[in-house]
């Protein structure tokens, strides 16, 4: 006979409030994607209070739909509503996060990653039951564009201004002329940003995913950097060993099934006095350090992407997105590095430096 459990009504109500909030946020993500792709946010940016008719006219969309969308945005706090005039306004702060594609906090692309996770949910379910992997290249196409766009702006706001200067003597080398490898370069946004800032240096991007390499090559060509930036398909233990002054891993080492081998290969590919810059998701070394909204985001992505890819490689490690400084230090120690330090951290990232 089943025992009836007594429920704490206050705790139940608190949980239900969180669940409803999360479901509301899930719906809201679809609205953000629509607002981004239909140009609704851009139509409102800098325009002050607008009626739904004015937003519809400026965006070229149907007013009745626009009115409902505006109300969803107002309910979510993504636009301001003025009851007396029945108008809607995108504040400067909201425009910075939702309409400005060059902003370091431009967020709409992040929902493309969520869309890919839903599209891949049957794949993830099967993988979790069977304990098998899902390789990065086997995901829904929206994952690659969403990740690339989201990280592009984060890198634009931090890489040159904070991350590189936090490393010992690296900026000076780049200014004089250095060789740089961007391992796991994805769409190449990090590589191109560095190449634009340091014209005396040469940059080489490597990624195992052919579609990303093609997109990165196009990005460099559009930026007019083909003379000092090149991209090639190669995994983290097979790119040319050419004496790099700096080897970068941007948010990718934790995805690898053999991270010690990747770090050991980087050790062989480094020039004398070269450095590795490791950018990883912000995480503490204990689970309890990561029980917060950022940790929740990373653990969730790690379940369907990071751990899934590492498992697909049938390697030695499944670090996950919340690896933490301690486990990453162990990886580099095992790979033969004698120096490993945290150069800085941001609300989303750890910036780590390794030297032989």
Task: Compute the distance between CA of residue 230 and CA of residue 217 in angstroms, rounded to an integer.
Answer: 7
Q: What is the pLDDT of residue 5?
A: 78
Task: Assess whether pLDDT exceeds 60 at residue 12.
Answer: yes
179-183 and 87-89 beta bridge pairing? unpaired
Domain ranges of the chain: 9-98, 110-355
Mean predicted confidence (pLDDT) in 88-97: 98
Q: What is the pLDDT of residue 233?
A: 97
320: left (phi over 0), alpha (psi -120 to 50) or beta: left
Note the pTM of the prediction, 2 decimals.
Answer: 0.90
Phi first, then psi: give them for residue 311, nearest 5 degrees. -65, -35
Q: What is the pLDDT of residue 241?
A: 87
Q: What is the pLDDT of residue 75?
A: 97
Mean predicted confidence (pLDDT) in 275-281: 97
Pull the structure tokens for residue 45: 């940016």
Mean predicted confidence (pLDDT) in 229-250: 96
Q: What is the pLDDT of residue 4?
A: 61
Is 106 within 8 Å of 100 (Cβ atoms)?
A: yes
Q: What is the pLDDT of residue 1?
A: 43
CA angle 279, 299, 289 (to 5 degrees): 80
Unique residue bearing structure tokens 């304990």: 131
For 110-355, CATH gives 3.40.50.150
Three-state DSSP at 20 gives: helix
Fold of 9-98: Arc Repressor Mutant, subunit A (1.10.10)
Please list the residues that pair with 244 across neighbouring strands. 270
Listed range (85-94, 145-154, 222-231, 282-291) with the worst mean pLDDT: 145-154
pLDDT band of 151, cuts 50, 70, 90: confident
Q: Give the number of residues written for the chain.
A: 356
Mean predicted confidence (pLDDT) in 306-313: 97
Pull the structure tokens for residue 242: 């050419």
Q: Computed from CA positions of residues 23, 27, 32, 37, in that sequence, does the dihedral angle turn out positive or negative?
A: positive
Task: Compute the distance between CA of residue 92 and CA of residue 79 in angstroms, rounded to an integer.
Answer: 10
Torsion, Cα 313 325 165 224, to 10 degrees, reads 20
Q: What is the pLDDT of residue 160?
A: 96
Q: Computed from CA positions of residues 342, 308, 123, 20, in that sequence, does the dihedral angle turn out positive or negative?
A: negative
Task: Assess whether pLDDT exceeds 90 at residue 182.
Answer: yes
- Nearest CA-CA partner of 168 in 355, 43, 356: 355
Mean predicted confidence (pLDDT) in 145-157: 88
Mean predicted confidence (pLDDT) in 83-90: 98
Mean predicted confidence (pLDDT) in 2-22: 89
pLDDT > 70: percent of the chain: 99
Torsion, Cα 182 117 21 45, to 10 degrees, reads 60
Phi first, then psi: give them for residue 27, nearest 5 degrees. -60, -45
Average pLDDT, the chain: 95
Task: Compute the distance between CA of residue 233 and CA of residue 108 in angstroms, rounded to an integer.
Answer: 29
């Amino acid at each position: 006979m089943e025992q009836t459990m007594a429920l704490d009504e206050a705790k139940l109500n608190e949980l239900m409030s969180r669940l409803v909030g999360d479901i509301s946020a899930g719906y809201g993500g679809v609205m953000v994607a629509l607002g981004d792709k239909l140009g609704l946010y851009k139509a409102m940016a800098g325009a002050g209070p607008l009626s739904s008719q004015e937003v519809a006219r400026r965006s070229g969309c149907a007013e009745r739909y626009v009115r409902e969308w505006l109300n969803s945005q107002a309910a979510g706090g993504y636009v301001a509503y003025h009851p007396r005039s029945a108008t809607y306004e995108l504040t400067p702060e909201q425009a910075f996060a939702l309409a400005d594609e060059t902003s370091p906090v431009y967020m709409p692309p992040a929902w493309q990653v969520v869309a890919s996770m839903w599209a891949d949910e049957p794949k993830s379910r099967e993988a979790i039951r069977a304990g098998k992997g899902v390789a990065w290249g086997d995901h829904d196409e929206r994952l690659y564009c969403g990740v690339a766009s989201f990280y592009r702006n984060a890198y634009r706001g931090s890489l040159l201004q904070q991350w590189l200067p936090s490393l010992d003597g690296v900026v000076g080398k780049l200014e004089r002329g250095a060789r740089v490898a961007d391992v796991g370069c994805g769409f190449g946004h990090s590589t191109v940003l560095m190449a634009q800032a340091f014209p005396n240096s040469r940059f080489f991007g490597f990624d195992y995913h052919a579609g990303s390499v093609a997109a990165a090559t196009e990005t460099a060509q559009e930026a007019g950097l083909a003379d000092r930036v090149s991209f090639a398909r190669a995994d983290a233990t097979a790119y040319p060993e050419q004496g790099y002054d700096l080897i970068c891993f941007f948010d990718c080492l934790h995805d690898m099934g053999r991270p010690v081998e990747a770090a050991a290969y980087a050790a062989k590919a480094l020039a004398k006095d070269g450095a590795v810059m490791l950018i990883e998701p912000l995480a503490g070394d204990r689970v309890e350090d990561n029980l917060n909204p950022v940790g929740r985001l990373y653990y969730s992505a790690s379940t369907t992407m990071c751990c899934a890819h590492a498992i697909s490689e049938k390697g030695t490690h499944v670090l996950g997105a919340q690896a933490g400084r301690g486990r990453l230090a162990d990886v580099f120690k095992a790979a033969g590095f004698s120096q490993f330090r945290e150069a800085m951290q941001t609300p989303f990232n750890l910036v780590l430096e390794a030297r032989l």
